[in-house]
Amino acid sequence: MRPHGCFYRPMQALSDEQHIAAIEAKVDKLEKKVDDGFAETRTEFRAVRAEIGGIHRSVQAMWLTMILGFAAILLQNHL
């Protein structure tokens, strides 16, 4: 009968070179995942900054319209 379960691992002797190569492969795979994640994050941040820039311009235009409207009301009442 063969043991099974989450703690069973077949024992296999690896040479130091094989062990180092396996670890390097895992590290390379992890490094690629991290790099891909940062690239995706940078892309998303660019989109958010562009959206915020558009909102900022809209708010500036709204404030300018309010200030000019208030100035027009003051001038109209003064004259």
pLDDT score, position 17: 83
Per-residue pLDDT of 10-43, as tens digits, reads: 555 567 888 888 899 999 999 999 999 999 999 9
Residue whose token pair is 């691992």: 9
Task: Flag whether 9 is in a domain.
Answer: no
Question: pLDDT value at position 6?
Answer: 60
Q: Is residue 38 part of a domain?
A: yes
24, 16 contact by CB (below 8 A): no
pLDDT per residue over 45-69, tens digit each?
A: 999 999 999 999 999 999 999 999 9
Residue 6 within a domain: no
Domain housing 22: 16-79
72 inside domain: yes
Residue in 58, 34, 38 with CA at minimum distance from that of residue 46: 38
Q: State the DSSP code for 6.
A: T
Is 25 among the domain residues? yes
Whether residue 26 is contained in a domain is answered as yes
Tell me the C-alpha to C-alpha distance, in Å, between residue 12 and each of 26, 32, 48, 66: 18, 28, 50, 76
Q: Tell whether 23 is covered by a domain.
A: yes
Please name the helix (run of DSSP H) or strand (run of DSSP E) that holds residue 36, with its range, or none. Answer: helix 16-78
Provide the whole-model pTM: 0.50
Would 74 be classed as within a structural domain?
yes
